[in-house]
A and B are shown apart, each in its own frame.
Chain A
Amino acid sequence: MMGRRLAVSAYRMAARAFPGRHRHQYQHEMIDAFERELRSLMARGALATFAFVAAACFDAIVTGVRERRRDRRWRLGAAWSAVDVVLAWRMLLRYPGLTVVGVCGISVGIAIAATAFTIVAALTNPRLPLPAGERVVSLLNRDASTGNRELRVLRDYTWWRAMKTVDDIGVTRTVQRNLITDGRPHELVTVAEISASAFRVARVAPLRGRVLIPADQQPGAPEAIVIGYGEWVRRFGSDPNIIGRSIQLGSTTYAIVGVMPDGFAFPLYHSYWIPWRIEASAYGPRSGPSVSVFGRLASGTTIEDAQAELTAIGQRIAADSPDTHERLRPQVVPYTYAFSDMDDPQNALALYAIELAIVLLLVIVCVNVAVLVYARIARRQDEIAVRGALGASRRRIVVQLFVEALMLAGIAAATGVGLASVALQQLDGSMLIVAGRVLPFWITLRLSPTGVLYVVALTLVAAGIVGVIPALAATRRDVYTRLKTLSSGGGARMQMGRVWTTLIVAQVALTVALLPTSMFHAWAALRFQIGDPGFASDEMLTAQLALDRTTVAATAEGEREFATQFAAAHRELERRLHEESTVGEITFSMVGPGEERAVVLEIEGRAVPFDGVRYNIVEGSPRGHLVRFNRVAIDFFDAFEVPVLMGRGFRTSDVEIGDAITPGVLVNRAAVETLFAGTNPLGARVRYVGRSRETGERDVVLQRWYEIVGVVPDFPAPGPMEAERVSRVYHAATFGDVYPAEMALRVRSRDPVAFADRFRAISAAVDPNLQLRSVETVEMTLKREQGLMRLVGVTVGLVILSVVVLSAAGMYALMSFTVSQRRREIGIRAALGAERHRILTGIFARAITQLAIGAGVGLLGALVLEQVLEGEMMQGQDALFLPLVILMIAGVGLLAAVGPARRGLRVEPTEALREQ
């Protein structure tokens, strides 16, 4: 007896291996059958009995586990029934408000996330589209003390070439040359001066003719050039007899020896390749032009092997030339890393952090939509209760709600991908404008298959948050309780829990706190324009003037010779331009107006400000005033018709010659007000103590004293939204002082741009090696910047819009919930003859108070933020933007309340009471 009970218990335990559904149906019968069999076997002896019990238990466990597995497979399969999809579709149509809000919010989130992913992937994990591109490497030198890359590695290249682990080591640099073709205006083109080994490294065969060969590099060899597919088609009409045709770059005529296939732009974005002829051994260590060195890993070696060999070579060089190489660390990196700074893990980390922040933004958006979905589920409680009572498990209901959310998120993802593609296209275009050239050939800002997978993953996460969380919260109680609430007809059903309410209120607070700033920035970006730059911007044609440097050796003496040559060419160009009838004033400067470079300034006899300048100061001290400086021709202000307000204008004696005199400088009005508190600055002496990264070593002289001799207005005039006033200091310059020179000429014709071709022709006549870069009117430059800012503005605006829409949705959910929760109460009040407005205030008092608290907290936050950041956020425009935001939120809140209020007032007293 005892043994039988034990055996049954053992079997009962074993039967627990079966899934619950199966146990629920069959367990007692299984045990009954087991017990009967056991009884009949006990007569046959202990051994037979024991064998049966063991076999039956084992069988129950094995079969049970198998059933469980089968069950799970079935459940997964059944989870996706067509009915769910149809139901989900109907729900989307039945609640169009929720669908629109959800799709808008999530699609903007996904669009931003997908765009960010594509950019980050392009930057952090670029794939070189060459055969075995992952084995192509860059060799570079990094200064261990500053972390900066040393680009003058021509001498190092001669030593690195001995490496065994890297094959075909080559060198290249990018130069700009005037392309001179008969009957066409001269054009500036970007040319790669490159070792012949580059084509072996790239492993790409030419489409026509041949690639460059080592013989082309020999001094005295015929000048050979290889051109890109695009140039061949565009400029030479796909001429089949292109090989052997000649092409003039600057003063040199080259014979075309080959055409590369479409898409080939090695080393960066090039479509002209000329042989490398610079004799590397002519340069000392850490001198000469900036170049890039590349190669291909020898077969069977790894990048680590190459690094080990290069490090050894680097140590030998450092021992031989400690002055220049002691702190230099040579590195072997995947080819593209040399152009993206991504070998620094910190940079990559920063990018990933931004990506994560964007995903968090999406999560916030989804949580908002989840609040709405929760509110909607509240209205579907009856349906869910009935389905539960009819046997649908909690899991089944959650799956259905998940499918609904997935459909919503799916539509949003499709929209988001569309938005992202448009944004990426725009970005690709605007980057081209910003950089003034195309992106490296391996960067394509297009959504990749991995990007699509990322979007799919985000969609699943979004659907999880939007569907599963509210569904779990709504189905927490068991079927019985749910049915009970169904029969009681409302009353205390689902509750807008404290968490949800807090969430909505916190969101309103956050919106109010951050909206003014983002609105300000979006508005500023959209309205960006230098309203009236203070001169006729459409008449001023500007261009950067440079001279082809290949003709001169890069030594100190060569440098001086070059400056003299450039000054002569510049002077001659101005003289010839003056002969043109349409050309008025001509002048030049180091950089264009508004592009001045940052430096740290100290005023003689005045205390240095306690705080350091928070700017990119790479040399000297950050203790002083941050100002921007420019070197300008003596007639610069006259040419731009800018008057001198105080003191005098420039004289020839103000040009820095020798150390004997103190050169005179001009400052702008902002400098007088900021640095001198409005007092007379004339006669004060100033000097520079620090240099920023953007300011070249040769551009600025530190520690030399200058005397302020005059004051000019703020030029260019600050834009309407520009609250920060920039202090500027101007130095006098003459021909040859600045290189390259920023020329500006007044063209008195209806279309100054039409003069550009004549301008180029005159320049080429002076010297074919004289280059005119980006010839355009000031107005064109401004418009281009405006276009870019507009893109930024639209993006920020879209984000703001989705935040506002989501906030409104949250408020709507809260109000809507309040109404459905208090249906009975409204009915009773209406039955008792309460006035409509009293009912309304009664219902919404609490919700409105909560939202008002949120808005108040947000307002406080905005003010505190403004104080802490010393007006940086809205630049003193808070008086305009804060009330605007409050008005907007109040308006949105009222709009959100209209629907629920109308629903509340439509409650029929009799119906509401009957429900009780």
Chain B
Amino acid sequence: LLPLKHATYQVLLALDDGERMHGYAIMQAVTDMTGGRESILPGTLYAALARMVDEGLVEESWPRGDDPSGGPPRRYYRRTAFGRAVARAESERLRALLDVARAQNMLGHRK
């Protein structure tokens, strides 16, 4: 599976442990967690979600009651243990690269 597609990684990070989110919430979470520097568009998101369900990275479920936010019923997604492991492996992989970048003084210092 590695390296993960960018959208897949974004979605895996946006889905915090145990939390169930619908598609639009994931879009917002991606924007929020990157401070508005990154976003994900609905086409890419749902293509990624469909694939991630097939691969067992996320679980799909329907809400029990009515959607509190109104509108038509929407699927909810939750990160699986496997999804978490894969995200972790991808992070490790990226960290190795980041370490190299850092050693070459490419990152500068965090403010």
Contacts and interface: CB of A to CB of B under 8 A. Distances in A.
Interface of A: 14-15, 18, 22, 25-26, 28-34, 36-37, 55-56, 59-64, 66-67
B27 A59 contact: no
A56 B46 contact: no
Contact of A37 (B42, B46, B74): B42
Contacts of B41: 55-56, 59-60
Interface residues of B, number: 17
B24 A63 contact: no
B72 interface: yes
B39 to A, nearest CB: 9
B94 interface: no
Contact of A63 (B27, B43, B74, B75): B43
A32 B71 contact: yes
A799 B94 CA distance: 70
Nearest to A60: B43
A63 B72 CA distance: 24
Closest 3 CB pairs of A and B: A60-B43, A59-B41, A33-B24
Nearest to B74: A29
B28 to A, nearest CB: 8
B75 A30 contact: no
A32 B74 CA distance: 9
B47 A67 contact: yes
Contacts of B50: 22, 25-26, 67
Contacts of B49: 26
Contacts of A28: 72
A702 B72 CA distance: 103
18 contacts: A14-B43, A22-B47, A22-B50, A26-B46, A29-B23, A29-B72, A30-B23, A31-B42, A32-B24, A32-B72, A33-B27, A33-B45, A36-B24, A37-B27, A63-B44, A66-B47, A67-B47, A67-B50
Contacts of A59: 41-44
A695 B7 CA distance: 87
Interface string B62-84: 00000000011011000000000
A64 B41 CA distance: 12
A261 B45 CA distance: 71
A34 B23 CA distance: 10
- A-side interface mostly: helix
Interface string B43-59: 11111011000000000
A37 B23 CA distance: 11
A28 B47 CA distance: 14
Nearest to A64: B43
A10 to B, nearest CB: 13
Contacts of B44: 59, 63
Given A30-B42, A61-B43, 10 more contacts: A22-B50, A26-B46, A26-B49, A26-B50, A32-B24, A33-B45, A56-B43, A59-B42, A60-B41, A63-B43
Contact of B75 (A15, A29, A34, A62): A29
Most chain A CB within a 10 A radius of its CB, from B27, B45, B46, B75: B46
A29 B27 contact: no
Contacts of A15: 43
A111 B72 CA distance: 63
A25 B22 CA distance: 14
Nearest to B69: A36
Interface in B9-29: 22-24, 27
B47 A33 contact: no
Contacts of A67: 47, 50
Nearest to B41: A59
Contacts of A31: 42
Contacts of A25: 50
Contacts of A33: 23-24, 27, 42, 45-46
A36 B70 CA distance: 11
A193 to B, nearest CB: 75
Nearest to A56: B41
A34 B42 contact: yes
Nearest to B25: A33
B47 A56 contact: no
